[in-house]
Amino acid sequence: MASCPVCNSELENGVTSCHVCGWEADVTEGEWMELGTIGDKLSADMAKEALTARGIPAVVFSQSGFFGDAGLSLYPFFKSKAPQFVMKVPAVYGEEAAEVLDMIIGNNWQRKDT
């Protein structure tokens, strides 16, 4: 579980405000960045779970024909390329998120050149 940076109250993972002291994260949709790409669905799911467990909002976009929570693969029907998933996080969490991905999935992701 995450905690509030102001009053240290326990927060649900992924929330951006505190119900006790009123703290709100300074994150808007326009401030999201592409962190990098991940080569397989399992690693992408692990990465997202690890980031949200640390209180870092994260979104994974498939660029290879995977869809839904089951990760059903359709890419053999229309493309013959390897799976690729794009990880996006708020820009304010960029460095911290990259460190988490390095620890959790290591070489299974490629950081986007900035």
Per-residue pLDDT tens over the stretch 64-85: 655 544 444 554 554 555 668 8
Position 14 in a domain? no
- Does any domain span residue 10? no
Containing domain of residue 42, as a range?
Answer: 27-111
The conformation of residue 17, written as its DSSP 8-state character, comes to B
Is residue 3 a part of any domain in this protein? no
pLDDT of residue 107: 86
Specify the higher pLDDT residue, 94 or 63. Answer: 94
What is the DSSP track for 49-108? HHHHHTT---EEEESSSEETTTTEE-HHHH--S---EEEEEEGGGHHHHHHHHHHHHGGG
Q: What percent of the chain has pLDDT over 90?
A: 18
Q: How many domains does the chain have?
A: 1
Please indicate, yes or no, whether the overall pTM of this predicted structure exceeds 0.75.
no
pLDDT at 98 exceeding the cut of 80: yes
Q: What is the pLDDT of residue 6?
A: 67
User: What separation, in Å, do the N-terminal and C-terminal C-alpha atoms of the chain show?
Assistant: 31
* Choice between 93 and 63, residue whose per-residue pLDDT is larger: 93
105: domain CATH number is: 3.30.70
